[in-house]
Homo-oligomer: A and B are copies of this chain.
Amino acid sequence: MNLLVFEKKDLITPNCIAVHGERAQHLREVLRVRTGDSLRIGEIGGGIGCGTVAEVSAERVSITFGPLNQTSQAPSFDVILALPRPQILKRVLHTSAMMGVRHLFLIRSARVEKSYFSSPLLQPQKMFSYLREGLEQGVSTILPQVSLHQRFRGFLEEELPRATEQTSCALLAEPSAEQSLWALARSRGFRNGENALLAVGPEGGWQDHEVAAFRDHGFAPFHCGPRVLRVDAAVCSLLGQIDLLRHLGGHC
């Protein structure tokens, strides 16, 4: 935990929070905080500052803090993901918050098992705990927005146009694509600060008509070589690669 993130409901006075349950236990037993220790603290949706441990008890850990006047890193990705099985989704949620995803669209595609949409993990409070852990690792206070879309066509028609109009960088990861990510980087260039919209398919990949539909919406398909990454690793690796390309800038 590189940042302790809190919500409004954790406040017990305007400049003091109390943490209970498993989180307090983590602070006590893993991080071994003691009264008087300093730690970085941030409010979800707000700023980051310095906190001081005021009390450590069996019930709670309370932390006072000064001005939260450091700004969190802005997220710079939107990700469209064919809903993976719950064990993988947990990691993707963590990764998304840690690496700066602004909006995670979890969508249905032909190779997504319908039962995944009734997983208990999809309850907002469950997802929140993985997202918060990601923020605390990645030092950010800006919670990714997560939305569920049970109809592929409906998503493409109703939601996608709003997402694509915010970026000129819409990319479709597709192992059978003709073009590699490095060839794409040479031909199109990436701009520093540009928000990227990345679509990642299910295990087994997108179906042809799905690839065609994304193409029609301006997505550039690409592959990353012969190794097939598990969805959670693919998201992590691709966010890292796109971030690097933006920093390199221009045509590589």
**Interface of A toward B, CB cutoff 8 Å:** 2, 73, 94-95, 98-100, 137-140, 180-182, 185-186, 224-230, 233, 236-241, 243-245, 247-248, 252
Q: Do A247 and B2 touch across chains, with their CB atoms under 8 A apart?
A: no
Q: A180–B182 Cα gap in the complex (Å)?
A: 20
Identical chains bound together, number: 2
A225 surroundings in chain B (CB, below 8 A): 243, 247
A98 surroundings in chain B (CB, below 8 A): 227, 229-230, 233
Q: Do A140 and B227 touch across chains, with their CB atoms under 8 A apart?
A: yes
7 contacts between A and B (CB under 8 A): A99-B227, A99-B229, A100-B227, A182-B248, A233-B236, A240-B240, A248-B252
A233 surroundings in chain B (CB, below 8 A): 95, 98-99, 236
Shortest A173–chain B CB gap in Å is 12
Closest to A138 in B: B227
Shortest A4–chain B CB gap in Å is 14
Closest to A3 in B: B228
Q: Do B181 and A244 touch across chains, with their CB atoms under 8 A apart?
A: yes
Q: A237–B224 Cα gap in the complex (Å)?
A: 13
A236 surroundings in chain B (CB, below 8 A): 233, 236-237, 240
Among B139, B226, B228, contact of A137 (Cβ-Cβ < 8 Å): B228
Q: A181–B99 Cα gap in the complex (Å)?
A: 16
A247 surroundings in chain B (CB, below 8 A): 180-182, 225
Q: Which of A237, A243, A245 has the most CB of B within 10 A?
A: A237
Q: What 3 A-B pairs have minimum CB-CB distances, sorted nearest first?
A: A237-B240, A182-B247, A138-B227
Q: Do B99 and A244 touch across chains, with their CB atoms under 8 A apart?
A: no
Q: A248–B78 Cα gap in the complex (Å)?
A: 25
